[in-house]
Amino acid sequence: MSGSCVRRIWQRRVVLFWIVLLVCNLVLVTNKVEASVDPDPPLYDSPPGPPFVPVAVNLPTGSMRQKFGIAAHPWWLDLYLDRFIAYYKDLGITSVRLPVEWKTLEPAPGQYNWNLNDRILNRLSSEGFEIIASFVTVPPWASTNPAECAKADITCGPKSDISTQARFSALAEAVVRHYPAVRYWEFWNEPEAWPKMGQRDISDYANWLRLFYLAAKRADPTVLVAATSLVGPEFFDWLYQYSDDNWGAANRPFDALAYHPYNHDRHKDKNGRELSLNKARVDQLRLMMVEKGDGGKPIWLTELGWETTQVSPGLAAEQLTDAFAFVDSRPYVTILTIHMLHDWTEERYGLMRTVPDVFYKGPLTPDLKFEPKQPYYNSYKYYNKRPLPSLTTDAPFDHTTVLVFPDTGHTVQGVFKTAWQRGSLTLFGYPRTSQFYEKNPSDNRFYLVQYFERVRMEYHPEYAGTSHEVLFGLLGNQLLYEHGWLNEKGDPIAGQALPEKVPATLNADTRWFPETSHAVTGLFLTAWQQQGGLAVVGLPKTDVFEELNPDDGQRYLVQYFERTRMELHFPPGTAGYNDSPYISFGLLGNQRLRLQNRLDQSNQPVNSNYYNPTLVEFRD
């Protein structure tokens, strides 16, 4: 990636800001578009406008959804992945923003290369990080100027012919499907700086944004796609006007606006102190969105930082704390990613310096060391990035759309709320985690999931709008695999999972399942039929046998199914088999979370794990 302009547009922002602002203003005048943006907006002490009520659903919640993250770069992450993940965890970072490049993914027409992004994105997802992916760059084969484009990314402009647009759309849809754990997509990076992707005319950017948006929504209607800008309100006002004129206000191709609010023009507060970011323009953007009917869409601040060639690490620490406090006070700002973890050859924005110093001296090498810039590094580390709202004083949830469970400190919302209400406590139990992304071992894909005492629910966007939109995880299979009775494919290899003989008599009380060579009879069959059958319970995976329950230490007759375990219980104090027996569903969700070291042996959250989705979402 040496010499790539993708790197270079992430630097020298003082000069770039003024150049881009001048260009945009000239283009606005040239194209006779009415500019309605106040160049000197007021500075507000508190959030202006109406309360923020987000329209997005089916996203991570609770401890897995904090606002503060880091901006990163794939070429360096690939070089230092283990070390950077360790630094991220030390800092308490839960989200990482990085480019996902068209030119890397599709180096030749129709030939996809997932290798680099698989290594990085899948590893970050498996470690518990959320990803904000910035889709950017043009492969030379798709550009109007291949030779020039191969030398400098920023000069590239995609060809507008039908064939190139079709390949772009196919790749965009494929990448969203390939990385289901990536819920946040930012289209491009600072397009005003690209002569053929937004600097000359907004149509250069808007039309490709729309193609990406439509493709992403075909892959998963619930991912969020953001338009992006370095300049901010002026550029977005231009985008709004073009979008509304061409497609109508109901068809705007973005779910969020991503802005880089560097305070390069050195605005000051009422006391004459230089602001940590351009606060007035963030609030100005919010009011613009409200005015245009987009008050439910969030603002993402996907780049902000302080170059320590211009400010001391001590002042940078103060600026970071002030910026975090501002974002905390603005509910409509849902993401802030700091640029960046480390210095490099041409920038000193890092929370860490390189040892030895490589600033204008040479490239980063595998044996390079990184050293925290104090107190800048610790200002990020020790800031309370996850304040818990109070149920009693903050009223943080809309109880008409969110189920709140003080017993476990979690909420249930969106598609999971709809699914839970079909079986409630009896079938599913209390929620034990927030919504988060987890790899399903049966297909090695990431899904938005939520664990309950008895089940794991999985959101499947490919079935959106159908009864299969939420499926129930194969917890029964997973536990039998860990017990050594099933192999990795779910086939029986030992114990009670081995095939049974076909019963001599088949009647209304007995159902034989040739798919797994097991029968379900009596109360087990009644429960299977009443509680959702194949969709909720799944196929039987064992015969009926006696097992020690790890939750209460009692022995029960049980039968395992793909998604759950049924247990034959008797009312307390009764003598035995003739005293109103009933079927209870085993607490497989709890059991699985204990095996993952997310719950302790008393079924309480393991608080020492910062990335633990069982951590509570609110306080009393």
- As a whole number, mean pLDDT of residues 413-423 equals 91
pLDDT on residue 576:
57
pLDDT on residue 32:
40
Long-range (24+ apart) CB contacts under 8 A made by 53-58 are 53/295, 53/296, 53/398, 54/296, 54/297, 54/298, 54/334, 55/296, 55/297, 56/222, 56/224, 56/255, 56/298, 57/222, 57/413, 57/414, 57/415, 58/222, 58/414, 58/415, 58/435, 58/448, 58/459
- As a whole number, mean pLDDT of residues 289-318 equals 96
* Residue 108: CATH number of its domain: 3.20.20.80
Q: Please check whether residues 22 and 133 belong to one and the same domain.
A: yes
Q: Please check whether residues 306 and 435 belong to one and the same domain.
A: no
Pairing verdict, β 545-548 and 518-521: unpaired
Position 584 in a domain = yes
Q: Is the peptide bond before 356 cis (omega within 30 degrees of 0)?
A: yes
Position 48 in a domain = no
Q: Please check whether residues 378 and 477 belong to one and the same domain.
A: no
pLDDT on residue 8:
42
Position 209 in a domain = yes
Segment among 105-119, 227-241, 286-300, 467-481 with least mean pLDDT? 467-481
Q: Mind giving me the DSSP string for 510-564?
A: EEEETTTTEEEEHHHHHHHHHTTHHHHT-SB-S--EEEE-TTTS-EEEEEEBSS-
- Percentage of the chain modeled with pLDDT above 70: 92
Cα separation, 477 vs 481, in Å, equals 6
Read off the pLDDT of residues 453-492 as tens digits, 9 standing for 90 and up: 999 999 988 888 888 899 999 999 999 999 999 998 899 9
Tally the domains of the chain: 2
The Cβ-side half-sphere exposure at 611, using a 13 Å CA radius, reads 20
Other CB atoms within a 10 A radius of the CB of residue 518 amount to 24
Residue 611 has pLDDT above 80, yes or no: yes
- As a whole number, mean pLDDT of residues 150-168 equals 96
- As a whole number, mean pLDDT of residues 45-71 equals 85
Work out the widest C-alpha separation in the chain, in whole angstroms. Answer: 90
State the pLDDT confidence band at 221, using cuts at 50, 70 and 90: confident
Query: Between 431 and 414, where is the model more confident?
Result: 431
Q: Please check whether residues 363 and 512 belong to one and the same domain.
A: no
Type of residue numbered 8: R
Q: Please check whether residues 317 and 408 belong to one and the same domain.
A: no
H-helix segments, 434-495: 475-483
Residue 42 has pLDDT above 70, yes or no: yes
pLDDT on residue 29:
42
> Residue 149: in which H helix or E strand, if any?
helix 146-151
pLDDT on residue 573:
63
Read off the pLDDT of residues 375-388 as tens digits, 9 standing for 90 and up: 999 999 999 998 88
Q: Please check whether residues 338 and 410 belong to one and the same domain.
A: no
Position 51 in a domain = no
Read off the pLDDT of residues 573-591 as tens digits, 9 standing for 90 and up: 655 555 689 999 999 999 9
Q: Please check whether residues 486 and 568 belong to one and the same domain.
A: yes
Domain of 342 in residue numbering reads as 5-43+66-382
Cα separation, 125 vs 551, in Å, equals 30
pLDDT on residue 4:
42
Type of residue numbered 503: P
Cα separation, 52 vs 518, in Å, equals 53
Position 353 in a domain = yes
Among residues 296, 262, 265, which one has the least CA distance to residue 55?
296
Q: Please check whether residues 177 and 231 belong to one and the same domain.
A: yes
Residue 16 has pLDDT above 60, yes or no: no
Point out the domain boundary residue: 320, 354, 382. Answer: 382
Residue 31 has pLDDT above 90, yes or no: no
> Token match 């079924």: residue?
603
Please say whether the beta carbons of 398 and 409 come within 8 A: no
- As a whole number, mean pLDDT of residues 278-305 equals 97
Cα separation, 327 vs 542, in Å, equals 53
Q: Please check whether residues 333 and 445 belong to one and the same domain.
A: no
Type of residue numbered 24: C
pLDDT on residue 512:
96
Pairing verdict, β 456-459 and 470-472: antiparallel
CA dihedral sign of residues 19, 257, 228, 310: positive
Cα separation, 564 vs 305, in Å, equals 48
Point out the domain boundary residue: 353, 382, 411. Answer: 382
Query: Between 533 and 27, where is the model more confident?
Result: 533
State the pLDDT confidence band at 441, using cuts at 50, 70 and 90: confident
Residue 363 has pLDDT above 70, yes or no: yes
Burial class (CB in 10 A: 0-12, 13-18, 19+), 206: buried
Q: Please check whether residues 420 and 347 belong to one and the same domain.
A: no
Residue 7 has pLDDT above 80, yes or no: no
Q: Please check whether residues 426 and 367 belong to one and the same domain.
A: no
Type of residue numbered 272: G
Residue 77 has pLDDT above 50, yes or no: yes
Segment among 62-76, 154-168, 287-301 with least mean pLDDT? 62-76
| pLDDT, averaged across the chain | 90
3-state secondary structure of 597: coil
Whole-structure pTM value: 0.87
pLDDT on residue 541:
98
Query: Between 320 and 127, where is the model more confident?
Result: 320
Please say whether the beta carbons of 285 and 299 come within 8 A: yes
- Percentage of the chain modeled with pLDDT above 90: 72
Residue 13 has pLDDT above 50, yes or no: no
State the pLDDT confidence band at 316, using cuts at 50, 70 and 90: very high
Position 591 in a domain = yes
Read off the pLDDT of residues 541-578 as tens digits, 9 standing for 90 and up: 999 999 998 888 899 999 999 999 999 998 876 555 55
Position 52 in a domain = no
Position 149 in a domain = yes
pLDDT on residue 502:
93
3-state secondary structure of 379: helix
User: What's the first-to-final CA gap in the chain, in angstroms?
Assistant: 51
Q: Please check whether residues 414 and 484 belong to one and the same domain.
A: yes
Type of residue numbered 108: A
CA dihedral sign of residues 251, 281, 48, 410: positive
